[in-house]
Homo-oligomer: A and B are copies of this chain.
Amino acid sequence: MKSFYPPERTLMGPGPSDVNPRVLAAMARPTIGHLDPEFVRMMDEVKQLLQYAFCTSNEMTLAVSAPGSAGMECCFVNLVEPGDKVVVAQNGVFGGRMKENVERAGGTAVMVEHTWGAPVDPGRVEEALKANPDAKIVAFVHAETSTGALSDAKTLVKLAHDHGCLVIVDAVTSLAGVELRVDEWGIDAIYSGTQKCLSAPPGLSPVSFAPSALDKIKARKTKVQSWFLDLQLVMAYWGGETKRAYHHTAPINTLYGLHEALVVLEEEGLEKSWTRHAHNHAALREGFEAMGLNFVVEAKSRLPQLNAVSVPDGVDEAAVRSRLLNEFNLEIGAGLGAMAGKIWRVGLMGHASNTTNVLFCLGAMDAVLGAMNAPIRPGAAVGRAREYYRAK
């Protein structure tokens, strides 16, 4: 068996996104011990940088040592006790995964189902809360990666609190890509991923828990069902009130990568990162509209970092993605679940949200769709996006 040399792709799917070369370089630095004083110092910096990215002063802010799905599970297994009722607003794949998590933790999920592609409707969540006064938690996805819909987290959190519930927010795709203010909005528990708008390799899940969430965890009558994700054990390693205790061996080099990605974010500035995502999204949108592609999500709820468009009639969506990958080394995403075969998901996340990628992607899609005689207006997209950039 031989060494593996991956092709150099441009990653414009739903994540992983293109990783900044500075972050890749950090991944290759010498491994040191997970209890080495220098490593512990770096972990403290990661915590501070994550607090910056989440806009929080929560002490319980850290990176779970596994991908975003484990961050989701970390929130649910710690906060949901057997018998707890959880209102889950579902508007895509990941709300369904939340339901699985609630049920596997012994809770009852009250599902508030939405059309895929729509944002979560606060009115419908309120109805569910009124009908379930014993609900303890509200959970929703801030930025639905499967459809590209952004929900109004601030309003939903206030609503949940008004009904005496804690909230769990999925910010896997939103963190660093759109406005997200954990403390100001009062979010109790939140999880994210590293491979979206932070543009670090996957393998870690940033999480943050407010004191309100910790109070519920400390009052648990049963042990957390996962030893690996038991927050009180994990926190003993990440520091806090007590001396650092060995819990598990952290993914050391991946943490180097996350640290560097967060340093890059701080250098740019969080709000500037949000603006850049919005700006490149606008250029891509101009191009897609010139081409005649239709967005899945209505304009006011579109995620700038994840652009879902409908596959034109009669076009073999998988064949388009294959040609983009094979002829352009360009990855865009397919639809998931109910959206499979019907949409493409074009990511402009983190380091990948830039002018070059927007123009390259529009040109590549224009060429491939044109060659396949798809019902689009060929030849207009790149020019339109370039005009947008010039005008700005």
Residues of B contacting A331 with CB < 8 Å?
32-33, 36
Q: Of all chain B residues, which has the CB nearest A11?
A: B33
A19-47 toward B: CB 8 Å interface, digit per residue (1/0)?
Answer: 10010111111111110111100100100
Assess A15 versus B249: contact at CB under 8 Å? Given A66-B66, A226-B226.
Answer: yes
Q: Of all chain B residues, which has the CB nearest A331?
A: B33
Q: Is the CB of B253 within 8 A of A42?
A: no
What distance in Å separates the Cβ of A175 from its nearest Cβ neighbour in chain B? Answer: 15
Complex-state Cα separation, A34 to B27, whole angstroms:
18
Assess A251 versus B28: contact at CB under 8 Å? Given A1-B49, A227-B97, A266-B1.
Answer: no
Assess A5 versus B29: contact at CB under 8 Å? Given A67-B248, A226-B73, A257-B253.
Answer: yes
Name the interface size band of chain A: 35 or more
Complex-state Cα separation, A11 to B35, whole angstroms:
12
Residues of B contacting A39 with CB < 8 Å?
6
What distance in Å separates the Cβ of A75 from its nearest Cβ neighbour in chain B? Answer: 12
Complex-state Cα separation, A228 to B203, whole angstroms:
13
Q: Is the CB of A31 within 8 A of B4?
A: no
Q: Return the contact of A48 from the options B1, B72, B226 (Cβ within 8 A).
A: B1
Verify if A58 is at the interface (C-beta below 8 Å from B): no
Q: Is the CB of A227 within 8 A of B4?
A: no
Verify if A117 is at the interface (C-beta below 8 Å from B): no
Assess A65 versus B33: contact at CB under 8 Å? Given A27-B28, A256-B4, A259-B4.
Answer: no
- Give 17 pairs: A residue, B residue, CB < 8 Å, sorted on A: A3-B260, A4-B260, A6-B32, A6-B39, A11-B31, A11-B32, A16-B249, A18-B31, A24-B30, A27-B253, A67-B249, A69-B248, A104-B224, A203-B254, A225-B226, A251-B251, A254-B254
